[in-house]
Amino acid sequence: MDGANVKSIDAITRFKATIAAARDDLARALAEADSDIDRAQLWIEREAPAYWKRQLTLRAEEVTVCKSALYRKQVTVSAKDSKPSVVDEKKALQRAQARLAEAEAKAKACKRWATTFQREVILFKGTMSAMQTVVERDLPMAVALMNRMADALARYAAPEPVELQSMLKALQDSAESTRRTGSGDALAGAASASGGVDPEGSTDAADGGSTDGSDGPADGGAA
């Protein structure tokens, strides 16, 4: 524990939160981009062509109406045997024809836009596939790694459990007691080897010596 250099587990936790937030932001941005692409594709491939197809029909009918109005005005003869002015009818017809030409151009453009847009969508999604991999695989793996690192460091830096401390203390006491007992036996063995006797042996010898000694000399003296 003294050699550990764990300074801030909270820093790892904060970094993990930053990675998770970045992952959420990127995922949201990619989802919004896909949604925008889908809406644009729907408009270009379906809604716009359908709109300009309807406009073609309506504007063609408008041109027909303007032509009819111009024709009626041209064949009309006033009471004074003079032809009425057809300036307004001609201007209306020109506007209707211009609107019809615009609708025809837009309808053709829709087909070109659909082809071009489809190609650009493929290129865009190919470019974004790497970012999609980062969002779906790399960043979640980084978050999981941060979790494992934080857990491992927390376990490493945590104090030992009370049960483990008590067990270690008991083992230390037992080892100390065994060491002391072993030292006492060694001292006794050394004393025996040098010709000494243990305290119990000395007591027994003293008792036996006094009895035998008193009888022996007495008997010998009597003899």
- Does residue 178 share a domain with residue 107? no
Which stretches within 43-161 are classed as H helix?
A: 48-75, 87-133, 139-157
- Does residue 97 share a domain with residue 199? no
Residue 66 has pLDDT above 70, yes or no: yes
Domain assignment of residue 2, yes or no: no
pLDDT given for residue 91 in this prediction: 93
Range of the domain at 143: 9-158
Average pLDDT, stretch 143-167? Answer: 74
Query: Tell me: the pLDDT tens digits for 72-130?
Result: 888 876 656 667 788 888 999 999 999 999 999 999 999 999 999 999 999 998 888 88
Domain assignment of residue 191, yes or no: yes
- Does residue 59 share a domain with residue 30? yes
84 in Cβ contact with 72 (< 8 Å): no
Domain assignment of residue 25, yes or no: yes
Domain assignment of residue 142, yes or no: yes
- Does residue 183 share a domain with residue 145? no
Mean pLDDT of the chain: 77
Residue 58 has pLDDT above 70, yes or no: yes
- Does residue 40 share a domain with residue 111? yes
Domain assignment of residue 198, yes or no: yes
Domain assignment of residue 3, yes or no: no
Q: Spell out the residues 6+ positions from residue 78 whose beta carbon is closer than 8 angstroms to its own.
A: 84
pLDDT class for 163, splitting at 50, 70, 90? low
Nearest by Cα to 40 from 107, 104, 110: 110
Query: Tell me: the pLDDT tens digits for 13-28?
Result: 888 899 999 999 999 9
pTM of the model: 0.53
Domain assignment of residue 1, yes or no: no
**Tally of domains in the chain:** 2
Residue 147 has pLDDT above 70, yes or no: yes
- Does residue 217 share a domain with residue 114? no
- Does residue 91 share a domain with residue 52? yes
* Domain endpoint, select from 158, 179, 203: 158
Helix (H, G, I), strand (E, B) or coil at 85: coil
- Does residue 124 share a domain with residue 175? no
Query: Tell me: the pLDDT tens digits for 38-50?
Result: 999 999 999 999 9
- Does residue 147 share a domain with residue 201? no
Domain assignment of residue 152, yes or no: yes
H/E stretch holding 36 reads helix 9-42
